[in-house]
Structures are given as structure tokens and as C-alpha cells.
A and B are shown apart, each in its own frame.
Chain A
Amino acid sequence: MTATTTAVSDATGMESVDSFRLRAREWIPANLRRLADLPADEGAQRNVSSDESAWQRARALQRTLYEGGFAGICYPKEYGGLGLTSAHQRAFNEEVAGHEMPMRLNVPTFTICGPTILDMGSEEHKREHLAAAIRGDEVLVQFLSEPGSGSDLAGATTRAERDGDVFVLNGSKIWSSGAYAADYALCLARTDWDAPKHRGLTMFLMKVHQPGVHIERIKQVNGGDEFCQEFFDDVVVPASAVVGEVGGGWAVASRQLFHERNAVGGGSPYFSGARAEGRRGTETDALIDLVRRTGRADDPYARELIAEAHALGVIHGHLVDRVTAGMRTQKMPPTAGSLIRLFHGESATRQAEIALELAGPAAAMSAPDGPDTREVGVSFLFRQATQLGGGSTEMARNIISERILGMAREYAADRDVPFNQVRHGR
């Protein structure tokens, strides 16, 4: 169903932000359900639940957006997007607040994998996979980390050996969220063991479900099992799956990390849906609700803690605006995304701490007839995930001090050493 309001374009042929916003305002309530109206079993868990039906729902919603002309807002037209600006996306995000959206497709499909393919992929990759993702037909995932290399991503030991027109992959990848429900993956593998570590890597855009790929789910502290580990046993990948150059995988991974920092920090223009940062978000409302239920709304200390948590959320939005402007005007280097990544980790940690303090003993247990504060305790247990996922905050601090402040690089024993001579732990 398309909106009846007519699009108004400027001299360059691009629809104005106001016109786009008005069309979205008309289309959204007619095509997307209000979050408040969702059945209880679809409600609270809709963005974290890891069953297959939640992924099917996300794909269906993405198709609805596509058919309505509101999918891939910042993606180029030739690859199935709308070719509009981040201002259009922001307007849409504001209008769509409070409605059901395919939020789980944002990371990594639209904010990390898509932009990386756009930067580094072949024309065929872009035409095929970006368009499919925007239609809701393809979900993308990252195969980057390995059991033996987390922060030291370039130390990957998954092996890809050329055999005529194909590569054969052996090894294992880990921490790939939602891999079980994905279609294609950006997979970093080693193709040259004689080259120093950064120069022997190649990136593949590979089919996830195929012979030789075995996927296991990893259960997390908070009970979720979105994380996966993949095992490759003679997996055959065509040479056309190479993204960028053979041996040039690190350049692709670097773009991926750049987009990941932006995505995790909240600065990606490809993120579609309402954001919590930058205005009075659901987090603040939840904390206010919490102190009311625990009878501490008049406690001056509790009030100050709520204000502190709220301020961090608001400032996060301001920082995203500043860093985005800094990178756009080239007054900040592209690595400045590390600033928002670090802020996110630090503020989420503090906010989890504050919620725990506000809930008090009620976070340690839950009674069927008492205030439901179990989630606060569980979130606290899972707290460090915000300092780990999307690159650890230690790596963010390295990047800020080295790339932004120009301080000396950390010593690396494997620099310029052929990879097959680099020492590994057990």
C-alpha cells in the first residue's frame, strides 16, 4: 500500500525531508502495528527473542517497508534503496517511534554488512545482496571473531585454500549473532600463511547454510542464545565470493569495523527505527517506573541517580551528533566512531549499575505478586556485554589514543613477521 500524499521534490529531483516525513506519517499507522497493541507474547521479547518466528516476522516487516517505499532509505537507488539522506532517515526514525519495526535487521545486516558491501563489494555483490536484504529476502551476518582471536581480529586462523575456481574453508568462527537465521556472511579467512598477518587475509561473502557448515548456538548469561559458533569442514566457496582483493581482506575488515563502531555507538545513517538516545527514552521511563514501584520516588538520592542515567542517555545523542558532524566536515578522523562506541559502553555500564541500586534487594529475587524487577538483576549480570560486543572498550581506548591523539602504537610481537612464524597460545 503506498501513501496517498504526493512526494514533493527539490530542484535536484530529491524528495524534501518534510515531504518524506509527511508521507511516512500517513503510511506508518496504516501499515505498522503500534507496539502498545502487540499481543503480550509478541511484546516485550520481540527484539531479543531468538526463535525462528521472530526472524520470519522481521523479514515480513522489512518486505512491508519495501513495498511501502520506506526501506533502504540511505542506500543507493541502483541497489534497491531510496537514495535519500541521513536527514530523511532521521525523520523516518522519529515518525516510526512506537511502532513495530524489524529492529533485529539493523545490526549487522543494514548498518555493518550492507555498508561494507557498498564500500568494497563487486557490482554483482551489491546488485544481488543489497537489493535482497532491502526486500527482506536476505539476512546478513559477520563471521569475524574466532575462538582464538577476539580483539586481535587479524590473527584469524580460519583457512581458505584456492582450488581452481573455488576456495575451500576450514576452521571456526564465533560470536556471530543470529547466524542460524542468516543467509549470507562476511567471512574473514587466511589465504596466505607466509605473509605477515594483516596481508594474508581475504574476505568472502559466503552462503551460511551449505554442506560443511555446522552451527551451534551459545547460551548467554541473560538466557539469550543469539550468539553462534560455526565450524567449517571443507566448505566450498566460489571465487566470485571474494570481497575486494585476495590478500586484501584486512582492508574490507577495516571498513566493517568502522561501520560497526558507528552502529554500536548509535551513529549509523543506515539504522532504521526509533533510537533510545537523544530524547527521553524508554530507559528513563523504566527507571521512573521502578522507583515508583519500589516506593523511592521521593528519595533525593534515587532522584539524582535517575537524573544521572537520563543525562547520560541525552548526552549520548548529543555526542553522536557531534561526532557525525566532525567526520562529515573531516575535522575528526573516521576512527572517531570509537568515541561513541566507548561512550555507549561506559554509559550503559553506569546505567545498569544505577538500575540495580534503584531496585535494591528486589533485583535479587522476584515474587509472583511483587514488582517485576528480575530484568534489572539479569541486565546487571550481562552488563559487560556492552563493553565487549562490537569491539572491546580497551580497543576503543587504543584507537582513540593512537589514531586521534597520535600516541605511540602498542608493541606487537607479530608485526611484519610471516604469519606461520607467529607464536600462538593454546
Chain B
Amino acid sequence: MRFELTADQRLLQTATADYLEKSAPLGVIRALHDEGRTFDRDTWRRGAELGWTSLVVPEETGGGSVSGEGVVDATVIAEQFGRGCAPGPLAVVNVVAAALAEAAGADRHAGLLGRLLDGSMVAAWACCAPGRGWDPEAGAIEARPDGDGYVLDGTHDGVEHGGDADAFLVLAHTPEGLSQFVVERDADGVSVLPLESLDMVRGFARVDYAGVRVPATALVGAAGGAAAAVERQFQLAVVLQCAELVGVVERVLEFTRQWMFDRYSFGRPLASYQELKHRMADMTLWSESGQATMAAAARAVQERRADAGELVSVAKSYLGQRATDIIQDCVQLHGGLGVTWEHDIHIYLRRATVNRLMWGTPSAHRRRIADLLNV
């Protein structure tokens, strides 16, 4: 639960919650999964009208926050996505939109940005080497200068919603250093392989680039100057992911608590056994701590503070681990029902597990913290 939302943020929160409940209840998510689909384009477009895609993009470039604090606003949406394990490319579209809007010479990509904002197109951030986690140096493919443009060769793996993307923001090394390019899905030499995902509807893909020719205007920002933007995009992706974890955990604890009141054993509710009460107390503490650290990270990213990178990693290292700890113990409290396909808890466990693994595992974030502390 958020304590200090503005009236506009509350409106955004309620509108998103209501719309997700109507358009994408768990039954719809199961149906999408059965059909091998990730999300519904019309639903996404209407979500964009509610503000899902535009909060972290400045007004001058077509976006707009509701509170003046777009990153915080976006975490309000992400939390609701977590509560419903909602379908849709929320994190990646926001990350790519922010990247396009913030880069020097942003008007080069105004067309794509506009279509991301209105929900008619989807873009994904391709930045991880196959089999590797978050490591931008290793994840950057090769971009060789060729005439007026560049030729891209290499492979990206674990591209979130890569199978749905109309365009990619591609991390690459040019001779000048770390750079980012916009590459169309249907450019010659691009092939996309959707991968089977642990999540019901959040897809991942492998993207291969075989001699993909792009003009210099495909660069986002200056050649070789992407390192700071990449770190910023990573922070945004992680903080949205953490907000989603907060929502997932909050919802699971709500229905598990209710189950403990309703389920009787030996003539008394589960909620009357001290051993179980104490486990719920621990889980409540972890959930509250997770909300606290996510909110602090969101504020730091919002304000572009120097410690934002550290706080984001603190939040992810904690929430990534605790979220799955909590949900697994809630599975235990549900008994045999908890490990059935029919019970909904696995849908939440799937989302939490995927979030734990992507954008840096808790362990990887701890190593990042140690680096930032100059141990």
C-alpha cells in the first residue's frame, strides 16, 4: 500500500487497477497463454491512453507525468501490473521511450517515439549476450562503420518482449565505444526467435543480426556516448521490475491471509496457530521492507541522484530474493492446492521468479553494490 500518493497518482492507480481487472483478469491471462500469445494489442493501446507508456517521457517530446515525478508514477502502474501479473511490455516500452526522448537529436526518432507513446507500436531493449546476465560491455554486439552507416553483427538473448517488438533498441560497440541503435524488426538480416518463457505471458526472444545495415541516423545519441544512458535505462528497468515484485507480493499475501482465516484444521483456523502467525509476520515484514526500499530507489532514480545505482541494486538484491521466498512459503501454506495448475498462485510465482532472474539476479546486484562501495 502506498501512503503518500497525490490525488492524480491515486486516479492513475485506480484507473489502471480497474482497467486491468476488466481487460486482463487471470482467466484472460490463462487464455492468452493457452493460445501462445503474450498480450492483446488493443488492450495495450487503450492502456497507453491511460498513460502507461508516456509517464517517463518529457512533455516536450509528447509524454507527460501525472505528478511531475514520472518515474514514481510509472512504479504506481508497475505495482498494479504485479498485482495482476498483467500482460504487456510495460518496462521495455517505457525504457526505450525514455531512451529515445532523452538522447541528443531525439527528433530523429520522433516517429517511433510517437507510436510507442500511443501504443500502436512496441519496442524492446536488446542488450544481453547469450547466456549472460546484465553486463553491458559483454552484451554489446559489433557495429562496424560502413560508408554513411554501420553494419551490425551478433546475437542478443533474453530480449524482453522481443517476439512482439516492431523495433529494437540495440546495444552495440562502435569504434568510439558503447552506442545504441534503433533497428526495425523487419530490417534485412534481423531474425527473431521467440523463446519459451517461465512466465505465463511475458515473452523473451533471441535476436540475431547478420550483416544488418543501418544508417548513421539510426544512432540514439552520439556514437560511443551511450554508457550513462545505458546505466539510466538499466536503473529504470530494475526499479519498474521491483515495483512489479512489490505488487505481486502484496496480492499473494492478501489472498494467503484470507485463506488462513477461511481454512480450518483441527477445528480452528490456520490463522490461530502461532507458528503460522509468526511466518506471516515475517513475510509481512519482508513485504513492507520491499515496498520501502523500492520507493526509495524510485525516488533516487526520479531525482537522478548519484546513489540511484546503489539504491536500485539494494532494492533488487532484497526484493528479488524475498519475493520468491514469500510466495514459496505461501504455496506451502496453501497445501497441495498450492502446487496445482488450477490454483492461481503459480502465476504469481512465475512472474516473481522471472523478475528475480532478469535485469540482474540478487547475487549480481550484490556484486554491483560491492563494486559501487569500492570494497
Binding site for B on A (CB under 8 A): 280, 284, 288, 291, 297, 300, 303-304, 306-308, 310-311, 314-315, 318-319, 321-323, 325-326, 329, 331-332, 339, 342-343, 346, 394, 396-398, 400-402, 404-405, 407-408, 410
Query: With contacts defined as CB atoms under 8 Å apart, how many contacts are there between chain A and chain B in the complex?
Result: 124
Is A308 within 8 A of B317, CB to CB? yes
Residues of A within 8 A of B291 (CB): 322
Is B367 within 8 A of A303, CB to CB? yes
Query: Residue B317 contacts which of A288, A311, A319 (CB distance < 8 angstroms)?
Result: A311
Is A400 within 8 A of B3, CB to CB? no
Residues of A within 8 A of B272 (CB): 407-408
List 6 A-B pairs, Cβ < 8 Å: A303-B370, A311-B313, A318-B296, A329-B4, A342-B281, A401-B278
Is A401 within 8 A of B277, CB to CB? yes
Is A405 within 8 A of B369, CB to CB? no
Q: Which residue of A lies closest to B282 (CB)?
A: A397
6 tightest A-B CB contacts, nearest first: A401-B277, A303-B370, A307-B369, A322-B292, A307-B366, A400-B281
Q: Which residue of B lies closest to A396 (CB)?
A: B281
Is B367 within 8 A of A300, CB to CB? yes
Binding site for A on B (CB under 8 A): 1, 3-4, 257, 260-261, 268-269, 271-272, 274, 277-278, 280-282, 284-285, 288-289, 291-293, 295-296, 310-311, 313-314, 317-318, 363, 365-370, 373-375
Residue of B4, B281, B369 with highest tally of chain A CB at under 10 A: B281
Q: Which residue of B lies closest to A287 (CB)?
A: B375
Is B375 within 8 A of A297, CB to CB? yes
Residues of A within 8 A of B365 (CB): 307
Query: Residue A331 contacts which of B3, B313, B367 (CB distance < 8 angstroms)?
Result: B3
Residues of A within 8 A of B368 (CB): 307
Per the bound structure, the CA–CA distance linking A326 and B292 in Å amounts to 11
Question: How far is the CB of A147 from the nearest CB of chain B, in Å?
Answer: 25
* A interface secondary structure, majority: helix
Is A307 within 8 A of B284, CB to CB? no
Q: Which residue of A lies closest to B319 (CB)?
A: A315
- Apart from A319-B293, A342-B282: 11 A-B pairs, beta carbons within 8 A: A288-B373, A304-B367, A306-B370, A306-B373, A308-B366, A315-B292, A315-B318, A322-B3, A343-B289, A405-B257, A405-B284
Residue of B278, B311, B375 with highest tally of chain A CB at under 10 A: B375
Q: Which residue of B lies closest to A291 (CB)?
A: B375
Question: How far is the CB of A178 from the nearest CB of chain B, in Å?
Answer: 30
Is B285 within 8 A of A339, CB to CB? yes
Residues of A within 8 A of B370 (CB): 303-304, 306-307
Residues of B within 8 A of A407 (CB): 260-261, 271-272, 277, 280
Per the bound structure, the CA–CA distance linking A325 and B2 in Å amounts to 10
Is A311 within 8 A of B318, CB to CB? yes
Is A307 within 8 A of B3, CB to CB? no
Residues of A within 8 A of B3 (CB): 322, 325-326, 329, 331-332
Per the bound structure, the CA–CA distance linking A185 and B243 in Å amounts to 46
Is B369 within 8 A of A311, CB to CB? yes
Question: How far is the CB of B76 from the nearest CB of chain A, in Å?
Answer: 16
Question: How far is the CB of A94 from the nearest CB of chain B, in Å?
Answer: 15
Question: How far is the CB of A336 from the nearest CB of chain B, in Å?
Answer: 8
Residue of B4, B269, B285 with highest tally of chain A CB at under 10 A: B285
Q: Which residue of B lies closest to A314 (CB)?
A: B314
